Amino acid sequence: MKGKTEIDSNRCKGCGYCVITCPRGIIRIGDRLNAAGYYVAEVVKPDECTGCALCAEICPDVAIEVWREEKSVAD
């Protein structure tokens, strides 16, 4: 299964919970500040996202949305 993760940088407070939670280790705190002055999380290897949604579940600021792409029978 493949996933797509989107982080709303305006909601992110840079706590890093998603970074330590992602089993693939594909989220990091970047060097970009949001309007509130927080360094925000970013997905560095989006192709490796499985869509497990653990990052979205752990985020206290509801800044992460995850979509899953189911494999079709033709795959």
The site for ligand SF4, by CB under 6 A, has a size of 30
Cβ at position 35, least distance to ligand SF4 in Å: 14
- 18 near ligand SF4, rule: CB under 6 A: yes
The answer to whether the beta carbons of residues 62 and 11 sit under 8 Å apart is yes
Residue 64 has a CB neighbour count (10 Å cut-off) of 23
Token pair, residue 74, equals: 């033709």
Question: What is the contact surface with ligand SF4 in residues (CB under 6 A)?
Answer: 3, 5, 7, 12-18, 21-22, 24, 26-27, 41, 43, 49-55, 58-59, 61, 63-64, 66
